[in-house]
Amino acid sequence: MTTRHKVLKLSALSRKLTALRREGRVIAFTNGCFDILHYGHVSYLEAAKRKDRILVVGMNSDASVRGLKGPERPIVPQDQRAAVLAGLACVDFVVLFEDPTPYALIKAIGPDILLKGADWKGKEVAGSDVVKARGGRVEFVTFVARLSTTNIVEKIRQQYRAV
């Protein structure tokens, strides 16, 4: 069975979420680039999924990642990144976004819970105002420190320089 059916455009996702809300389901949202999926990502997403939540992951498009991380990123193209994310049991839906932040996407989806890594505590979380205005909440998820795609890429670069 393919997991590609979990990667949706916003219009299709909105229809599915409307039906799930009618069933009383809680919609949780998180986002990221997810370039080179690693243990830190999986740990974070599994924690975000807890309870009976529907977990929607907003994923930065290739153009968005380049704008945030520079011209050498992403390493993995968006279609492949989305398919890998969709392959995780804890992820219910993946939706791409083009902007630097998922603010417009969060506004369109209207999640009940907005999730960010614990490193965001005390910082401005894009879309938190929208979620709170609807009666929702922001939760911070513990993450694996010093484990990031940027750190992995740098480690690879250092190893190749040493050769």
* pLDDT reported for residue 10: 97
Provide the 10 A C-beta neighbour count for residue 49.
Answer: 19
The parent domain of residue 30 ranges over 4-162
The answer to whether the beta carbons of residues 127 and 19 sit under 8 Å apart is no
Percent of the chain with pLDDT over 90: 71
Q: In the sheet that 137-141 helps form, which strands lie side by side, from edge to edge? A: 93-97, 53-60, 26-32, 113-117, 137-141
- In the numeric block, the tokens 């999730």 are attached to 115
Reported confidence tier of residue 161, pLDDT bands at 50, 70, 90: confident
Higher pLDDT among residues 160 and 71, named by residue: 71
* pLDDT reported for residue 145: 67
Percent of the chain with pLDDT over 70: 94
What burial letters (b/e) apply to 65-99, b meaning 16+ CB within 10 Å? beeebeeebbebebeebbbbbbebebbbbbbbbee
Tell how strand 53-60 and strand 93-97 pair up.
Answer: parallel
Cα 20 to Cα 85: distance, rounded to the nearest angstrom: 21
The secondary element (H helix, E strand) that includes residue 133 is helix 128-133
Reported confidence tier of residue 152, pLDDT bands at 50, 70, 90: confident
- Collapsing DSSP states into helix, strand and coil, what is residue 99? coil
For the domain that residue 77 is a member of, what is the CATH number?
A: 3.40.50.620
Q: How many domains does the chain have?
A: 1
Reported confidence tier of residue 163, pLDDT bands at 50, 70, 90: low
Higher pLDDT among residues 48 and 153, named by residue: 48
Q: 42-91, pLDDT tens digit by residue?
A: 999 999 998 889 999 999 999 999 999 999 899 999 999 999 999 999 99
Give strand ranges (E) for the chain. 26-32, 53-60, 93-97, 113-117, 137-141
- Please state, rounded to an integer, the average pLDDT across all residues of the chain: 91
Task: List the one residue out of 32, 48, 45 whose CA is nearest residue 114.
Answer: 48
- In the numeric block, the tokens 């010093």 are attached to 146
